[in-house]
Amino acid sequence: MRMIDTVIKPMHPEGYKFVAAFAAVTVLLFWIWEPLGWLGLGLTIWCYYFFRDPRRAVPENAGLLVSPADGVVSLIGRAVPPAELGLGPEALVRVSVFMSVFNCHVNRAPIAGRIAAVAYRPGKFFNASLDKASEENERNALAIEMADGRKIAVVQIAGLVARRIMCWKQAGEMVRTGERFGLIRFGSRLDVYLPQGVHPQVALGQTTVAGETVIALIGQDAPARVARVE
């Protein structure tokens, strides 16, 4: 690991056109007035940083369910998963990870399995940190069937400034734990609905790393995590 590798990260191809547009505008701004050009340069660097796609050390131990997103755990509680996934009306434990515009927005599969369903639903654009965003906002939901037949749901939710949810997987495909499956542009949230009897291993306010942070243990009788803030 070189020191520069901790700062310079690979960029996802989805970001190329945006960075190019920001750079073109920056050149124009420098021609109009130099201070505006420096502002444009800063925004171009931010745009690159937004679309960064760093490599992750994904744990391969059986039964580990990892965070699908970089961000902060904003909600933990029981809620009914999206009806369009057909997982039933029973409330499940939901863990929500809020992504600010400074987080990496590439989404990763929380666990390995077969994608049983993918369902997109248009909606509004409330602040993704609000509880009502799960019901009202634009979203794309996936149901992943694990090897033991149980299913978990992972839901991409558009945020206040997000206007584009991307999902690269289809129903019937297999996915590995930590595998990239989608991206949301410019501020959003990921919800994970855990199977019955599975308790979260993260706490409110905890920072998560997509593909690395373990948010639940499948097949292990582990109590919910309790944490303190210092």
- Residues 144, 173 contacting (CB under 8 angstroms): no
The rounded distance, in Å, linking the Cα atoms of 43 and 29 is 12
Looking at residue 81, the DSSP 8-state letter turns out to be: P
**How far is 104 from 70, CA to CA, in rounded Å?**
6
Clarify whether 100 is annotated catalytic. Answer: no
Structure tokens at 174: 């297999």
Catalytic residue among 67, 96, 134, 188: 188
Listing DSSP states for 23-59 in one string gives: HHHHHHHHHH-HHHHHHHHHHHHHHHHHTB-------
Cα(5)–Cα(3) distance, integer angstroms: 5
Identify the residue whose tokens are 């400034």: 161
For 29, left (φ over 0), alpha (ψ -120 to 50), or beta? Answer: alpha
CA distances from 133 to 34, 78, 82, 128 (A): 41, 15, 12, 5
For residue 76 the two structure tokens come to 């933990």
Catalytic residues: 188
